[in-house]
């Protein structure tokens, strides 16, 4: 028979563990932005490791040297795109300052020509009289603050990803030390399956980004839009953000086209609609169906759900987060051990 004081000690220990787990859950919820950034860093680290292995197979270069080359190439490509696009945009700011007011004047004239438009204008004038200028200033300040915070988050995530990619086994062992010894094989299996699925998702996303960048760049070049290469590159990079990236990519292209005339701007918008129609209904379903088998409806719902839970910071990572949660449920609940490969990663293991 067990002694009463031992039973009391076990009970107290379990209460303490429950309290610690509850405190950890509250801390993770309050630090949800940090958790999302860490997941993004892991995703980028997986991509960097994949590129490093490809360089090793191609040139025989070492792991750390290949990682350094990969990082330098990525930073150089991104910096060149920003410099080229910024240079072109700076040259066209004066012309854009002339075209935008002219376009707004044409829009106002069109609105005044019909009753509904006159009603909209009257409501806009009432809003301006009620202090819309202050609202616009506060909104602009909020947008600039969010943009600055986003740039800082992106830089932090990238540097953390470099550290993770440089020493993946060290951080993997650190995570496994927090898991009971009898559960470590299951967690290691989850790590392997997650790496395989996210690597395939990144490869599929890269194919989609390249396809959109090439199609939009060729379309802009065919329409005679200046800086077609830079705009196509920006459009391809923004495609990483599902659905929202398509809108963000069309805005700078339409503004640049507006400097050449309103007709060019409407043509560019129509071209982007066509490109992303092909991307959303043909390219992405085919590529990602081969990569991860994530249904489009589930992808869209995951974007809405994670944006509500964690805010805009989770939108670019909604699809890989959804894949990770599916794997967690499949490995830890359905399989309950490192048995057969998870369904999402089964294709990758069969092809390797």
Domain locations in the chain?
A: 31-351
Owner of token pair 């088998």: 293
Residue 177 CB burial class (10 angstroms; 0-12, 13-18, ≥19): exposed
Work out the end-to-end distance of the chain between its first and last CA atoms, rounded to an integer number of angstroms: 56
User: 256 and 88 in contact (C-beta within 8 Å)?
Assistant: yes
> Is pLDDT above 60 for 129?
no
Percent of the chain with pLDDT over 70: 73
Residue 341 gets which letter from DSSP?
A: P
- Per-residue pLDDT at 348: 46
Mean pLDDT of 18-24: 80
Q: What is the mean pLDDT of the chain?
A: 76
Note the Cα 56 to chain centre separation in Å. Answer: 27
What number of other Cβ atoms are within 10 A of residue 205's Cβ?
21
Q: How confident is the model at residue 98 (pLDDT cuts 50, 70, 90)?
A: low
pTM: 0.70
Contacts of residue 161, Cβ cutoff 8 Å, sequence gap at least 6: 40, 41, 42, 43, 44, 45, 48
- Model pLDDT for residues 154-209, shown as the tens digit of each residue: 888 889 999 999 888 888 888 888 888 888 888 888 888 888 888 888 888 888 88
Mean pLDDT of 2-14: 64
User: 200 and 348 in contact (C-beta within 8 Å)?
Assistant: yes
Q: How confident is the model at residue 90 (pLDDT cuts 50, 70, 90)?
A: low
> Is pLDDT above 60 for 137?
no
User: 164 and 171 in contact (C-beta within 8 Å)?
Assistant: yes
- Model pLDDT for residues 248-305, shown as the tens digit of each residue: 778 778 877 777 777 888 888 888 888 878 877 777 777 766 666 677 778 778 888 8
Is 56 or 114 the better-scoring residue by pLDDT?
Answer: 56
Alpha helices, DSSP H, located in 167-261:
168-176, 184-222, 228-238, 244-258
Percent of the chain with pLDDT over 90: 2
Mean pLDDT of 141-157: 71
Between CA 182 and CA 320 the distance in angstroms is: 28
**3-state SS assignment for residue 62:** coil
Q: How confident is the model at residue 344 (pLDDT cuts 50, 70, 90)?
A: low
- Model pLDDT for residues 31-65, shown as the tens digit of each residue: 778 888 889 999 999 989 988 888 888 888 888 88
Mean pLDDT of 128-157: 62
Q: Which two tokens stand for residue 344?
A: 């999402």
């Amino acid at each position: 028979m067990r002694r009463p004081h031992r039973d009391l000690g076990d009970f107290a220990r379990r209460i303490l563990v429950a309290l610690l787990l509850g405190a950890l859950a509250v801390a993770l919820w309050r630090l949800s932005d940090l958790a999302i950034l860490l997941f993004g860093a892991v995703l980028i680290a997986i991509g960097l490791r994949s590129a490093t292995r490809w360089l090793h197979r191609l040139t025989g270069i070492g792991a750390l040297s290949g990682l350094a080359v990969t990082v330098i190439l990525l930073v150089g490509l991104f910096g060149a795109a920003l410099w080229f696009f910024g240079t072109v945009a700076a040259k066209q700011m004066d012309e854009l300052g002339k075209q935008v007011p002219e376009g707004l004047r044409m829009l106002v004239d069109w609105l005044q020509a019909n009753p509904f438009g006159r009603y909209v204008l009257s409501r806009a004038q009432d809003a301006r009289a009620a202090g819309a200028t202050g609202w616009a200033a506060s909104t602009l300040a909020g947008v600039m603050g969010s943009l600055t915070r986003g740039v800082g988050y992106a830089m932090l995530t990238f540097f953390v990803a470099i550290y993770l990619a440089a020493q993946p086994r060290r951080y993997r062992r650190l995570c496994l030390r927090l898991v009971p010894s009898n559960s470590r094989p299951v967690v290691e299996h989850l790590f392997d399956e997650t790496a395989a699925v996210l690597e395939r998702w990144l490869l599929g996303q890269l194919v989609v980004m390249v396809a959109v960048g090439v199609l939009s760049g060729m379309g802009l070049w065919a329409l005679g839009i200046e800086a077609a290469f830079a705009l196509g590159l920006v459009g391809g990079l923004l495609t990483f953000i599902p659905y929202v990236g398509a809108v963000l990519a069309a805005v700078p292209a339409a503004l640049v086209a507006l400097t050449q005339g309103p007709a060019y701007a409407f043509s560019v918008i129509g071209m982007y609609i066509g490109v992303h129609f092909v991307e959303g209904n043909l390219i992405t379903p085919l590529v990602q169906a081969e990569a991860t088998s994530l249904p489009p409806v589930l992808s869209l719902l995951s974007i809405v759900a994670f944006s509500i839970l964690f805010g805009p910071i989770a939108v670019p990572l909604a699809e890989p987060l959804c894949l990770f949660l599916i794997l967690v449920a499949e490995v830890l609940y359905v399989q309950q051990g490192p048995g057969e490969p998870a369904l999402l990663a089964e294709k990758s293991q069969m092809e390797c």
